[in-house]
Structure 1
Amino acid sequence: MTPTASGATGSSSSVPDAGTDGIARKLLARRLRRFLVVVALLGLAADQITKVLAVALLTPGEPVPVVGDVLQLVLLRNPGAAFSFATGATWIFTIIATVVVAAVLRVSRKLGSRGWALALGLLLAGATGNLVDRLVRAPGFARGHVVDFLALPNWPVFNVADSMICTAAGLIVILALRGVEIDGRRATRSARR
């Protein structure tokens, strides 16, 4: 037994006490939030730079082959959601994107997993990238059309933000199937059923 800071005797085991564990968890969460923000900022920059280049260099509706027919660049302006769904409801998607951004920022306080930090960073980047288009592009504030320019065979034209959202969704499914919770803990088998 060794004396503690208060003078009492305690065990000298290497098991951290609850206070030390709580501090370590907070430091990890802070590091993971920084990682999430870096991923989100880099993703947002990539999305916005590629959209600016697409608008500046591509003629609307004219395909430019990059890898034959497998990947083409085609500039389109999408007033709706994915697959040009609900083209008359741009303002609804503006609200949804704003809610997603707020939810990701709120949930990020509980981060304890690098996988979740990556997934949420990509989701934040994608949602913010398309939200920026809806807020600042024509025809007007909160009604802007999203710039899409990547075309694959038999698939709707999309952008970098859409790719990040889909990648985030895939990562979230994998993390959920593996039982990894946002705080980094593993769900028990009975909790996953």
Structure 2
Amino acid sequence: MIAHIIFPAGIAFIVDQLTKWLILEHVMQPPRLIEVLPFFNLTLGFNTGVSFGLFSETLAAQPQVLIVANLLIVIGLLAWAQRTPVLTERLGIAVIAGGALGNIVDRWRQGAVTDFLDFHWAGWHWPAFNGADVFIFVGFVLMFLSCIRKTSCQVREGQV
């Protein structure tokens, strides 16, 4: 069961850190906007806040606040993953923890999270994000699917 937690969390963490390293050290030398598709760019940004840059002004001077809070969340997620008997839920929680750990390392190393994926349409840009954010989203989807499956199983068994 531990392998179902450590392996996916480790893969999420390693892929996130590897993509950020490639962007920082090779692709964005010098920093610029790279149009990949008509709706997708690579662009370098640093988020000192939480999701979508919220509270950036408040947290920029004290990245350790988010580091500690996020570490506590990751520890809680790993404990939750170890307790759940549902594999899909366990995998979802593990990749969320791995992605969160990737963003924690960024904050610790440089005081901000490296973002570089920029989707846009008709002048509207989704806030830039990174591989860790993708893993966190995929983990959420896995947990949601696990929840739907549990509910549909209960409905079939007449336990609603």
* TM range, smaller chain: 0.7 to 0.9
Q: Which residue of 1 aligns with 2:5?
A: 36
The 1:101–1:186 alpha-carbon spacing in structure 2 relative to 1, beyond 3 Å, is farther
Q: Which residue of 2 aligns with 1:64?
A: 34
The answer (yes or no) to whether the contact 1:69–1:152 under 8 Å persists in 2 is: no
Deviating 4+ runs (over 4 angstroms): 185-189
Query: Which protein is richer in helix relative to its size?
Result: 2
**Could you list the runs of 5+ residues in structure 2 that have no partner in the other structure?**
none
The answer (yes or no) to whether the contact 2:82–2:90 under 8 Å persists in 1 is: no
Indicate the structure whose relative CO is greater, using CA pairs within 8 Å and at least 6 residues apart: 2
Counterpart residue identity of residue 147, structure 1: T
TM (norm. structure 1) is 0.69
Q: How many percent of aligned residue pairs carry the same amino acid?
A: 25
Counterpart residue identity of residue 151, structure 1: D
Residue by residue over 1:89-131, the C-alpha shift from the partner in whole angstroms, topping out at 9 and shown as x without a partner, is 2333222211121012211221322201210121011110001
Residue by residue over 1:113-156, the C-alpha shift from the partner in whole angstroms, topping out at 9 and shown as x without a partner, is 2201210121011110001111122xxxxxx1100011111211
Counterpart residue identity of residue 150, structure 1: L
Q: Which residue of 1 aligns with 2:22?
A: 53
- When the two chains are superposed, the root-mean-square deviation of aligned CA atoms in Å is 2.0
Counterpart residue identity of residue 166, structure 1: F
TM (norm. structure 2) is 0.82
The answer (yes or no) to whether the contact 2:5–2:82 under 8 Å persists in 1 is: no
Which deviates more, 110-119 or 158-167?
110-119
The structure with the larger Rg is 1
- SS of the aligned residue for 2:150 comes to coil
Q: Which residue of 2 aligns with 1:127?
A: 100
Residue by residue over 1:57-92, the C-alpha shift from the partner in whole angstroms, topping out at 9 and shown as x without a partner, is 2133x21122x2222110111111121111122333
Provide the C-alpha distance between the structure 2 equivalents of 1:34 and 1:177, rounded to a whole number of angstroms.
24
**Could you list the runs of 5+ residues in structure 1 that have no partner in the other structure?**
1-29, 138-143
Provide the C-alpha distance between the structure 1 equivalents of 2:154 and 2:95, rounded to a whole number of angstroms.
22
Provide the C-alpha distance between the structure 2 equivalents of 1:124 and 1:163, rounded to a whole number of angstroms.
12
Q: Which residue of 2 aligns with 1:147?
A: 114
Per the TM alignment, residue 51 of structure 1 is displaced from its structure 2 partner at its CA by 0.5
| Aligned 1:1-193 pairs, distance under 5 A | 30=1, 33-56=2-25, 57-58=27-28, 59-60=30-31, 62-66=32-36, 68-87=37-56, 88-89=58-59, 90-137=63-110, 144-153=111-120, 154-179=125-150, 189-190=159-160
Tell me the number of residue pairs that the alignment of Structure 1 and Structure 2 aligns.
Answer: 147
